[in-house]
């Protein structure tokens, strides 16, 4: 097992930065992606964006299979289409531990990206957890958090937890 990255917690300014495109696909990038993937798996996440480990690069890893299949690596992902139909569902975030919110997302979407070797690929009409995770991680790459996608009432209800999280790194601390 390789060492894992530290997950950046709400309040860390890197979470609000827009990630820049990856231009060089090399061994260093591969090692970074491996460490990101290991971090996501160790932390029991469904997805992880590079901002969440302190790097403002447009990279996300997603595993919606609970380890049954290898995680999908998305380098420079772009949403190319999204359904008009949306639904709300519970979402959590490794950068907001202990917080779950009802977030509205598109039910289907298409994405183009590159794999770790720089090869382009597309996923057409992703649905279910994959569609939700893609939207969540691409939001991270744009400096957007789940708290930005909920009603003012939901935000107000967790204001105390957010303050505690930003101060201590834990809603229990």
Question: Residue 1: pLDDT above 60?
Answer: no
55 part of the active site:
no
Predicted structure pTM score = 0.94
Percent of the chain with pLDDT over 70: 98
As beta bridge partners, residue 72 has 62
Residues 128-165 pLDDT 10s: 999 999 999 999 999 999 999 999 999 999 999 999 99
Which residue out of 38, 55, 91, 137 is catalytically annotated?
137
Confidence tier at 173 by pLDDT (50, 70, 90): low
User: At 72, phi and psi to the nearest 5?
Assistant: -90, 130
Q: Yes or no: say if 72 and 61 are a contact pair by the CB < 8 Å rule.
A: yes
Question: Residue 108: pLDDT above 80?
Answer: yes
pLDDT of residue 74: 98
Question: Residue 31: pLDDT above 80?
Answer: yes
Lowest mean pLDDT among 4-8, 59-63, 66-70, 96-100: 66-70
Mapped onto helix, strand or coil, the DSSP state of residue 106 is: strand
**CATH number of the structural domain 13-168:** 3.90.45.10
For residue 83, CA distances in Å to 4, 110, 133, 146, 162 come to 36, 9, 15, 19, 31
User: At 29, phi and psi to the nearest 5?
Assistant: -65, -45
User: At 46, phi and psi to the nearest 5?
Assistant: -90, -30
First to last CA, the chain: 29
């Amino acid at each position: 097992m390789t060492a894992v990255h530290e997950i950046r917690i709400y309040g860390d300014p890197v979470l609000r930065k827009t990630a820049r495109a990856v231009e060089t696909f090399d061994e260093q990038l591969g090692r970074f992606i491996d460490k990101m993937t290991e971090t996501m798996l160790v932390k029991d996440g469904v997805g992880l964006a590079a901002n969440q480990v302190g790097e403002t690069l447009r990279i996300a890893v997603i595993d919606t299979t609970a380890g049954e299949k290898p995680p999908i690596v998305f380098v420079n992902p772009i949403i190319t289409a999204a359904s008009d139909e949306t639904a709300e569902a519970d979402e959590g975030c490794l950068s907001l531990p202990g917080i779950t919110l009802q977030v509205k997302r598109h039910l289907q979407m298409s994405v183009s990206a590159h794999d770790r070797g720089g090869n382009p690929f597309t996923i057409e009409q992703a649905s279910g957890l994959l569609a939700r995770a893609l939207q969540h991680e691409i939001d991270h790459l744009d400096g957007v958090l789940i708290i930005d996608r909920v009603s003012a009432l939901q935000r107000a209800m967790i204001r105390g937890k957010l303050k505690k999280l930003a101060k201590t790194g834990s809603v229990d601390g």
